[in-house]
Amino acid sequence: MEQLGFDGMPRRLYPCTPTRLAAWLDCPRRYRMTYLDRPPPPKGPPWAHNSLGASVHNALAGWWRLPRRERTVAAAGDLLDTGWISDGFADDAQSAAHRRECRRMVEDYVAGLDPAVEPLGVERTVATRTDLIAVSGRIDRLDARPAADGGPGDLVVVDYKTGRHVLTVDDARGSLALALYALAAERVMRRPCLRVELHHLPTGTVLAWGHTPESLARQLRRAEDIAGECAAADDRYLGDPMAAATFPPRPGPGCGWCDFRAQCPEGAAAARPRRPWDGLADLPDTGPSLAATA
């Protein structure tokens, strides 16, 4: 049956990523400034915690791309060192302290991996579609874990986390992004993919959730509902980019971390500005450099 949009018209296929859908849910104004305003409004400076996260992700992806015999613990640390991104740190000393900590973190993580077990994908882009949405995204790692009987087993979506926020299993269970990745991986690989895992490197914990086909279908319907709101808002924006009511701000404490806080009076009033390095975890060995930045 033809799906109808908000105005009774057939709804077009909406191309999206989980990040775009999450941006809409989080704050429609931020969504507009990120995805619709052209030229895009100026962003604030880069965040050190984003640099740290990208550095760790790049090192782990690079490690899996090495020939198997070169996948040593030290090689992971070396990749972290050589690819370190220092944008957003207060100074060289703070950057170096976190680089050392991340080297330790990455080495500890790969020490628990079997370099001979090849993932099915590393930073692999997957995509799927329904009658309403075409969703795509990049999976940190896609594993194929052997079944207990030695069979090929199911696929597992692995997502690396580097933030200081402590995660729970509910974060894996409720993640729309992980569910969509699982559905897309299943479609691309033509194998069941029900298990999703968050690998929290700072604590060395794995938060895993086993979906059912029904729970994945629920998440897909949720994505379609959000996409329907986005598509209607996009259409209204094309008709009138100044239709502010379509993209209301959603001010709150998180506005301190928003790239567009300087362009948003409501957000600026709601939260104090954050320094680019405020999202970093405190380290015991950062010494006088951090004291100087307090």
Question: Which residue ranges make up the site for ligand SF4 (CB under 6 A)?
Answer: 27, 29-30, 249-251, 255, 258, 260-261, 264, 266-267
Q: How distant, in Å, are the alpha carbons of 181, 189, 198, 242 from that of 124?
A: 10, 11, 16, 37
Cβ atoms of residues 13 and 134 within 8 Å: yes
177 or 258: CB nearest ligand SF4: 258
Name the residue among 61, 56, 63, 111 with its Cα closest to residue 80. 56
**In angstroms, what is the minimal distance from the CB of 251 to ligand SF4?**
4
5 or 252: CB nearest ligand SF4: 252
**In angstroms, what is the minimal distance from the CB of 237 to ligand SF4?**
15
173 or 274: CB nearest ligand SF4: 274
**In angstroms, what is the minimal distance from the CB of 36 to ligand SF4?**
13
45 or 213: CB nearest ligand SF4: 45
Phi-psi region of 90 (alpha: psi -120 to 50; beta: other; left: phi over 0): alpha
**In angstroms, what is the minimal distance from the CB of 161 to ligand SF4?**
21
CA 79 to chain centre: 21
For residues 107 and 1, give the distance between their C-alpha atoms in angstroms, rounded to a whole number.
53
**In angstroms, what is the minimal distance from the CB of 150 to ligand SF4?**
50
Phi-psi region of 127 (alpha: psi -120 to 50; beta: other; left: phi over 0): beta
**In angstroms, what is the minimal distance from the CB of 43 to ligand SF4?**
11
249 or 276: CB nearest ligand SF4: 249
Residue of this chain nearest to ligand SF4 (CB atom): 267
**In angstroms, what is the minimal distance from the CB of 22 to ligand SF4?**
12
What amino acid is encoded at 46 in this protein?
P
For residues 156 and 4, give the distance between their C-alpha atoms in angstroms, rounded to a whole number.
35
115 or 267: CB nearest ligand SF4: 267
223 or 255: CB nearest ligand SF4: 255
Q: What is the DSSP string of 47-71?
A: PHHHHHHHHHHHHHHHHHHS-GGG-
Q: Name residue 19's beta-bridge partners.
A: none
Sign of CA dihedral 126, 163, 28, 43: negative
What letter does residue 114 receive in the DSSP assignment? -
